[in-house]
Amino acid sequence: MRKFLAEILGEIKLRGALLGPCPFLFMPGASSLRRRPGQTTVEYLMMLAVVAGMAAMMAVLFHKRILGGVFTLVGMIIGAGQPK
């Protein structure tokens, strides 16, 4: 077992010495590791779509409570100027 681990470690060190600081560029699946132009924008838009979708879903589910809260706040603001 120890000999097997030593061989694996030697192989890793050899590849590191031969390939330089970024060994992933020469691997077969290297294209999936690099960032393509526009990828950040697409990821941002996807996150924004999830947040907007959740907000829309919450608005549909709780619209009565949201309206009740808004009207309660408006009533508290209007009622604050009137003496009791």
Tens-digit pLDDT profile for residues 13-67: 777 666 666 555 555 555 556 777 888 999 999 999 999 999 999 999 999 999 9
* CA distances from residue 29 to 11, 25, 34, 66 in whole angstroms, order as listed: 19, 8, 10, 49
* CA distances from residue 25 to 6, 68, 79 in whole angstroms, order as listed: 25, 58, 68
Q: What is the pLDDT of residue 31?
A: 56
The whole-model pTM stands at 0.45
